[in-house]
Structure 1
């Protein structure tokens, strides 16, 4: 009960902070639109194609989630270290990774509102349609589980190396080009496609496009093994990322550098 209450408190606190910085949220929406339209012009060779932009919108939205989750976990721990309160969090009876999940849920909720507003404006402007189905929500949740695990890895490195903001930014930006957000993975060189399919959001983007654009039901995706692959990847990423975070936290404590910045 205490664990759940703590997670909900962290989520609520995060939502209050986001509400108090509404102007920053507005600027984020504007930036999302500018970058997306720029990507559309690059992919279309200077032309804007409704079909291509609709296809890209799904991948771009998942990339936004990737960037927000990975950077958010890193920024939270870094902020606590700078304020000198990081060690107090580790003294809580609630595991730190659950506190991080609570804060990330707040970030996820605000990000979802922003991304939905952005997507609605883009689809209305393009006069395009994306069929919203419950199957897409299932795939999204499974993908986010793997993404949270990847975020734990970056968060663990923050505890040891402290200033890893550049690494978080580099990782998030690399995903934009490697996870099929802009171009289908099938168009990559074979070796690069194999690497891309091991990343935490690539398979999720592929399946979201299959369900939202091609209207494929979940049982077909399960039958051909693609949904099983996504589930396996997310379990490995979440479990592995959590173990890496716990190991990094233990190492930082043994070195006596947990609260050091």
Structure 2
């Protein structure tokens, strides 16, 4: 993936990892369109950066995605990078009957959202030079957190789907997975100051250095990701699962 000269569409750009990526890519010489459900937070991402363009979009709405794609491509025909970052992480007790609306919304946003966004733009991206798709998964794609079981399952699905998408688009569109470990953001309440989580600035610094590599790694994984990513290969999955799920969230 090129470092500069791209036109990038990034979902979930109003806070956290999405905001930081948008601002870093902008400052590296890219045009960035950020989407999310709240205009005020998107405008905060774009503040002082003339080439960040905020647009309200709910990736859980398939009709909105279709109409958004047509309008966006008319305005930004040079679009060549799609970053599927929008996500939600409900914490739930799956051992008891419950209202499944939050779990279902998690599946729609985290899994169907990227699938629908990719479908809406793939025809265009296949015709662009230096085209890329970046799918944001999670360290929990490799070892799940039981209190976020549905979230973990959606991220495991994103990991699997990204591998298949990369194979299908080989030679046409570069497909990259970004798998964050536990990072200090507001994805869950209180997470931005939680001990043991990776500071957001340090995470973004390491991520940007990995994106700058030639060739770009297929999986952007910071050093801290190895604890979860390599657990099964190193024969310590059961111990890692137990350690992960013994810690309060």
TM-score normalised according to structure 1 size? 0.31
Higher strand share: 2
